[in-house]
Each structure stands twice: as C-alpha cells, then as structure tokens.
C-alpha cells in the first residue's frame, strides 16, 4: 500500500503532465474558438459533470458564511486563470507558455511573504531576477523566429500567461484550508460552477461581437480534453492530493508541467528554441530550483 506522501505526489504528478499538454492544445483551437467562450464551455461542462457526480446543485450544501471563500476560489482557479491563459496564448508561443506554466512556486514565495508574513530571502530575489531574464531571452528568441508577430506581442502574450500562474498559486493557498473541511468533489463543483458563472456575461458579449462559431471536430475533441481530463480529472487529483501532502510538495511537482507541454509544442508547431531561448529556459528552471531547494520555512504550515 502506498504511503500518503507517495499517493498524493503521484496524483499531482499525473495532473501536471495532463495540464502541460493543455497549453499547446488550447493555442491550437484558439484559431477557431473565441478565448472566453472556450473557457466558459470548458468549465461549464466540468461543472455539470460534478453536479451529476455529487447529486447536488452548487452552493446547496455550503453554509452562507463560507460561500464567499468559494467565490474567491472560483475567481482565482477559473475566472482569472482563463482570461490570462486563453488571451495570452493568442500571441505567446506554445513552448514558451508551457515553460512559464511551471512558475507558480515563484509566486507562492511572494504570496507567502504577503499573507503568511514570511520574509523573502536573498535567494528569492535572485530567483525573480533570473526568471525575468529568462523570460526576456525566451520571448526574444521566439520573436526572432516568428516574423509574423512583433516582439511586443510575444512579450505581452508571455506576460499574460504568467497571470494564471499567479492565480494558481492563490488557488493553492486558498484551497488548502478548504480541503481539510470539504470533499474534493465539492470544492471542484463549486469552483467550476461559480467560475463559469463569472465568465458567462463576458462569453455572452464575446458571442454577440464575434462571427458565428463553427466548431470543427478537432476543436470539439480538444474541448472534451480540456473539460474532462484537464479540468475534472486534474482538479480532482490536485484537490484530493492537498488533503495528504503540503502545498510546497505539490508546487515542486508542477515542474513536470512544462515538460509535456514543450514536447507537444514541438510536434504541433515545430517550435525549436535557439541558443538564446534555451538559455532563457535554463534560467527559469534555475530560478525555480533555487526557490524550491531546501525550502523548509513557514510555508510548511500550509499542510498542518
């Protein structure tokens, strides 16, 4: 029988691999599907699955005094995540976005300093500088390879894809406490239902302003992947794992996310970073390694 730490780690590792593939796949279908509508449909379908699974409508089993916390969770875990990810991927290269998807630990350090009173150490500042330098090299490398996009658009796309990494760090910190009091299926149901509700008015405006949408078989298949595997399965794995392992351990395993995304971007878009881009990727991973190495401080209270 697997120990709780191994069990939880396997769940997060599997979720990270599935999440990594979502970046290039989403970029692929954004050619046909508007970004907000795609995000709304993804989480609305996922919410319906969890309503059927739990046999309850959203918020029915949640005390009124705690509903505000779930709205915050939906804002970080769905609404802000979708806006940053889907709009960022319009311009950001799939491989660059996949690499940046591994940066939540950097934001966790900053958020721990803000919300937990944890002092940022010198190595944290060094990590941030290294990560920014790596981002600059990565975006510059892909802008030189892609003469169809101006450098500022690739920069803007990469910066937008950092928004969901920040929001995911907030989701992890906010969801950790709830995971001790609620079943993971309830957390997922509320996150998806409330998040899709937040996206609905913006999706309606986008549908009104956009030409009629014709979903191809490829787009429908990708939407199914995003709704079922990338939402229902991964969020279930993540929220159930947070019951048995600390957020710091889960954050470390997010390292696996850029791997699957980068490999898929190579095959889908033939993206091959040059020396400048490879150096940028190395700097980003070095920054993450510095942050996560021997990190035993007040962040560990998150698992207690």
Task: List the chain pLDDT tens, one digit each, 304 residues.
Answer: 777 778 888 898 899 889 888 889 999 899 889 999 999 999 999 999 999 999 999 999 999 999 999 999 999 999 999 999 999 999 888 888 887 887 777 777 777 677 656 666 777 788 778 877 887 787 677 665 666 667 778 888 888 998 998 898 888 777 777 877 898 899 999 999 999 999 999 999 999 998 888 888 989 999 999 999 999 999 999 888 877 877 666 766 776 777 778 878 888 888 777 888 788 888 877 877 776 665 444 444 333 3
- Position 206 scores a pLDDT of 96
Tokens 């996150």 sit on residue: 191
Terminal-to-terminal C-alpha distance of the chain: 23
Residue 30, both tokens: 């954004």
User: Per-residue b/e over 74-94, b at no fewer than 16 CB within 10 Å?
Assistant: bbbbbbbbbbbbbbbbebbbb
Task: Report whether 211 contacts 91 (CB < 8 A).
Answer: no
- Position 238 scores a pLDDT of 86
Distance CA 179, CA 241 (A): 9
Instruction: Identify the three-state secondary structure at position 221.
Output: helix
213 DSSP 8-state letter: P
- Position 304 scores a pLDDT of 36
- Position 255 scores a pLDDT of 65
Identify the domain containing residue 226 by its residue range. Answer: 4-303
Give the angle subtended at the CA of 245 by the CAs of 241 and 251, to the nearest 5°: 85
**Structural domain count, the chain:** 1
User: Per-residue b/e over 270-304, b at no fewer than 16 CB within 10 Å?
Assistant: ebebeebbebbbebbbbbbebbbeebeeebeebbe
Residue 181, both tokens: 């009091």
- Position 77 scores a pLDDT of 92
Tokens 């002092």 sit on residue: 119
Task: Report whether 120 contacts 110 (CB < 8 A).
Answer: yes
Phi-psi region of 93 (alpha: psi -120 to 50; beta: other; left: phi over 0): beta
Residue 17's Cβ-count burial label (10 Å; 0-12, 13-18, 19+) is middle
Give the angle subtended at the CA of 86 by the CAs of 13 and 143, to the nearest 5°: 95
Instruction: Identify the three-state secondary structure at position 57.
Output: coil
Q: How big is the chain by its Cα radius of gyration, in Å? A: 19
């Amino acid at each position: 029988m697997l120990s709780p730490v191994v069990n939880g780690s396997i769940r997060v590792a599997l979720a990270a691999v599935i999440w990594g593939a979502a970046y290039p796949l989403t970029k692929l279908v954004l050619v046909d599907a508007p970004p907000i509508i795609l995000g709304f449909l993804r989480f609305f379908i996922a919410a319906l699955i969890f309503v059927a699974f739990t046999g309850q409508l959203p918020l029915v089993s949640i005390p009124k005094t705690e509903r505000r916390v779930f709205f915050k969770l939906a804002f970080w875990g769905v609404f802000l995540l979708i806006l940053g990810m889907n709009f960022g991927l319009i311009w950001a290269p799939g491989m660059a976005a996949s690499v940046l998807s591994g940066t939540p630990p950097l934001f966790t350090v900053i958020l721990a300093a803000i919300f937990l009173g944890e002092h940022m150490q010198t190595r944290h500042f060094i990590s941030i500088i290294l990560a920014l330098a790596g981002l600059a090299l990565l975006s510059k490398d892909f802008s030189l390879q892609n003469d169809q996009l101006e450098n500022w658009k690739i920069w803007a796309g990469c910066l937008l894809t950092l928004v969901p990494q920040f929001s995911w760090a907030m989701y992890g910190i906010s969801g950790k406490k709830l995971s001790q009091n609620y079943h993971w299926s309830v957390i997922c149901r509320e996150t998806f239902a409330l998040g899709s509700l937040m996206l609905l008015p913006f999706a309606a405006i986008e549908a009104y302003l956009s030409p009629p949408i014709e979903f191809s078989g490829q787009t429908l298949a990708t939407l199914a992947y995003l709704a079922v595997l990338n939402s229902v399965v991964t969020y279930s794995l993540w929220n159930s794992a947070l019951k048995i392992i600390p957020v710091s351990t889960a954050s470390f395993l997010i390292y696996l996310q850029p791997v699957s995304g980068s490999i898929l971007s190579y095959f889908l878009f033939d993206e091959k970073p040059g020396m400048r881009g490879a150096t940028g990727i190395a700097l980003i991973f070095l920054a993450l390694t510095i942050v996560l190495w021997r990190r035993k401080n007040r962040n560990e209270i998150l698992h207690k």
